[in-house]
A and B are shown apart, each in its own frame.
Chain A
Amino acid sequence: EAGVTQSPTHLIKTRGQQVTLRCSPISGHTSVYWYQQALGLGLQFLLWYDEGEERNRGNFPPRFSGRQFPNYSSELNVNALELEDSALYLCASSLSGADEKLFFGSGTQLSVL
């Protein structure tokens, strides 16, 4: 069974640009979560999607947004990139929003120059 897949694995952008990150959850999982992990830091919760709807978002500005598609895959969009957006972006999925355990992808390493 395939795990959570994320693309691309690495990305280099410049300040002010926009970026889209993609995530495919484990088959059968309806909930997708996005986390930001800046170098050497813990995970900061970004967004939670379940059944196609945004259910919760963390303390991030509106230029961080996303969506979930009917097949439960998800995109994370970041507009007007800033240097401090450089981080590892992790996607995770769970069987449902009521499930307790997360399954993580390998992440997208974003560097903003």
Chain B
Amino acid sequence: SQQGEEDPQALSIQEGENATMNCSYKTSINNLQWYRQNSGRGLVHLILIRSNEREKHSGRLRVTLDTSKKSSSLLITASRAADTASYFCATDSGTASKLTFGTGTRLQVTL
């Protein structure tokens, strides 16, 4: 079953613009993670935010978490063509053994 639901399902922007994708989940979590998948291959871990954190930054990535609304957002600033990929949120009830992935947002960044 899917814990996280990403929104939008697909997003198309031009290089240099910001991209925002959202994730909603249903149950309480210990942390929420974002992963990136290029062309249907393996996923790469991007960032982890714990349930007691509200915002986290990593390079051009900014993640927010609102546990009262059970939602998170991933902002990619100054997007590049190389950011074209699918982005998944994954909710964690404590360990990687309990990671549950959402359905993903497909991001297309055009020149």
Residues of A within 8 A of B (CB): 4, 31, 33, 35, 37, 41-43, 45, 48, 50, 55-56, 59, 88, 90, 92, 94, 97-107, 109
Contact = CB atoms under 8 A, between A and B. Distances in A.
Contacts of B100: 45
Nearest to B102: A42
Interface stretch (B14-22, B43-51, B57-65, B70-78): B43-51
Interface string B37-57: 000111111001000000000
14 contacts: A4-B42, A31-B96, A33-B96, A33-B97, A37-B40, A41-B103, A42-B104, A43-B43, A43-B88, A45-B100, A97-B97, A99-B95, A99-B96, A103-B45
Q: Which 8 A-B pairs have the closest CB atoms?
A: A104-B42, A43-B101, A42-B103, A94-B96, A104-B43, A106-B42, A106-B41, A42-B101
A105 B97 CA distance: 16
Chain B contact patch, size range: 20 to 34
B41 to A, nearest CB: 5
A102 B45 contact: yes
